[in-house]
Amino acid sequence: MQEEARVMFYDIKEFGFFKRSEETPAFGDIGQILRDLERWGAGKQIGLTKTFDVDGSVLPAYLVDVRRRGQAWLLTLWNETANTDGAVASMSAYADVGNSEVTMNELAEGDIPGFASYFWFLPDHQAVATVRFQHPGAGRLQMRSYVQKFMAYFCANAVTSVDDETDGIRVHGYRASATDPVIKARPRFSMELHKKHAEQQFLLESAHRIRKIKKKSTLILTERPDRALWQKLLDSAHLTEPQVRPHDVKIVYEVEVETFTQEDVAAVIEGWEDEDQAGDYGFVMQGEQETYWLGRAIAKETLMLDIVRVNPEIVDPQTLIEALAHNRTRLLSLLE
C-alpha cells in the first residue's frame, strides 16, 4: 500500500562523549549506539524501554523497533501523550460551544497513550531524517532525549552501578571499550535542520525589506484546540458550520510589520524549528507579491512510499526501511 510520507533531514552537529570544556568528543559513534540500542531492546517489554521519565517538558518515549539496512538505521519510537489519572479525555466534535462534555476514557492497565514516530539515521552522512505520516509532529524532541538518556545510562560505554539507597543508576564514567580507562565525560547529541544556506541568508539579508509575515498551518479537527480555533475562524468570517466537516483545514495567518531585523528573522527560524515544522512561515518583501517560505530553505520532501501497516498507528519497520532505501538516491539529493 502506498502512503504519503513527509521526510525532513537534520544534520547531526554533536554526537559522542565529551570531556569538560572540550568541543570534540573523546569517543562515540552513532552507529555503535544504535547497535547497542538494538541489543539492549531485544526481548524487552516495551514498557521497560523508556530511558527517562520527563525531560523538561518532554514526556517519555519507548522503543518500538530499531533495525539496520546497509549503513542506514530506522528507529521507531512510541511517544507518550498526557493522560489524567490513567484516563484520556475526549470531547465530541459535534457538541455545541458552551454545551460540551468531556468523556474520560479509561486506559487498560499497561496501556500507554501516544503516537509512533520514525527516524532514518544515515551515519555515513552524519544526518538523520524524520519520517511523518498522519501526524503533524515528528517527535523529534522525544527522540533526542531518548537517545541522549540511553547514552547516559544504558549504552555499552556507560560504567554504572545500582545505588543501594535510591535503587537508581549511579554513573561512574564512560569508556570507549571494555579495555579502555574510565573517564569523566558527558554524552551529547544535538542536531539542526539541514538548511539551504543561500536561501536563509537571503531572508536574513533582506530582513529590512520584509513588510508581511505569514504562517501556514493545518487544523486537524478531531483535536479539541483546533476545533475551538475553527469555530473562531468561522465566527470572524461570519460563516456557519458546514454540513460536511473536513478533517484537515489549511489556513494562513498574515501579519503586517513596519520594522523587521535579522535578529527577528533568526528568532522566527529558531521558533519554527522548535515547533517540529508542523506548519511554515513566509515573508513578503516591500514592492513584491511573492512569498518566500522557510520550507523552501530546508531539506525536505513529500513522496509516496510503498509500506505496510501493522495497525492504524504503526508502520511495519521492515517495509519502511526498504521503501526509504528504494528512494535513497532521490532523498540524498536533498543533502547536496
In this structure, the answer to whether residues 162 and 255 fall within a common structural domain is: no
- Residue 189 grid coordinates: 547529541
CB 148 within 8 A of CB 35: no
In this structure, the answer to whether residues 265 and 216 fall within a common structural domain is: yes
Mean of per-residue pLDDT scores for the chain:
85
More confident residue, 202 or 177: 177
CB 273 within 8 A of CB 193: yes
In this structure, the answer to whether residues 234 and 95 fall within a common structural domain is: no
pLDDT value of position 149: 97
Q: Whose grid coordinates read 569523566?
A: 184
CA distance 191 to 15: 9
CA distance 254 to 81: 31
| Section 89-103 average pLDDT | 70
Query: What's the pLDDT tens digit per position in 2-32?
Result: 999 999 999 999 999 999 989 999 999 999 9
Least confident of 42-56, 119-133, 155-169, 247-261: 247-261
Query: What's the pLDDT tens digit per position in 179-207?
Result: 999 999 999 999 988 887 777 788 888 99
User: In a 3-state reduction of DSSP, which class is residue 192?
Assistant: strand
In this structure, the answer to whether residues 25 and 130 fall within a common structural domain is: yes
* Local structure of residue 311 (DSSP, 8 states): S
CA distance 306 to 314: 14
In this structure, the answer to whether residues 10 and 139 fall within a common structural domain is: yes
Query: What's the pLDDT tens digit per position in 28-49?
Result: 999 999 999 999 999 999 999 9
Q: Which alpha helices (DSSP H) does the chain contain, by range?
A: 30-41, 140-153, 197-205, 224-236, 262-274, 317-326, 328-332
Domain count, the chain: 2
CA distance 186 to 94: 51
| Section 116-135 average pLDDT | 95
Report the run of H or E that residue 212 belongs to, with start and end: strand 210-220
Q: Which range among 32-46, 52-66, 101-115, 295-309 has the greatest average pLDDT? A: 32-46
CB 228 within 8 A of CB 293: no
CA distance 290 to 332: 29
CB 13 within 8 A of CB 25: no
- Burial class, 254, CB count within 10 angstroms (exposed 0-12 / middle 13-18 / buried 19+): exposed
Confidence of residue 236 (pLDDT cuts 50, 70, 90): low
In this structure, the answer to whether residues 266 and 224 fall within a common structural domain is: yes
In this structure, the answer to whether residues 176 and 273 fall within a common structural domain is: no
CB 61 within 8 A of CB 76: no
- Provide the residue range defining the domain that includes 82: 2-194+299-335
pLDDT value of position 77: 96
How many angstroms separate the Cα of 186 from the Cα of each of 23, 56, 141, 148, 249?
11, 18, 19, 10, 44
pLDDT value of position 227: 47
**What φ, ψ does residue 191 adopt, rounded to 5°?**
-150, 160
In this structure, the answer to whether residues 270 and 205 fall within a common structural domain is: yes
In this structure, the answer to whether residues 276 and 132 fall within a common structural domain is: no
In this structure, the answer to whether residues 283 and 253 fall within a common structural domain is: yes
Query: What's the pLDDT tens digit per position in 268-314?
Result: 877 776 665 557 888 899 989 898 887 777 888 899 999 999 998 99
In this structure, the answer to whether residues 86 and 233 fall within a common structural domain is: no
In this structure, the answer to whether residues 75 and 176 fall within a common structural domain is: yes
CB 67 within 8 A of CB 75: no
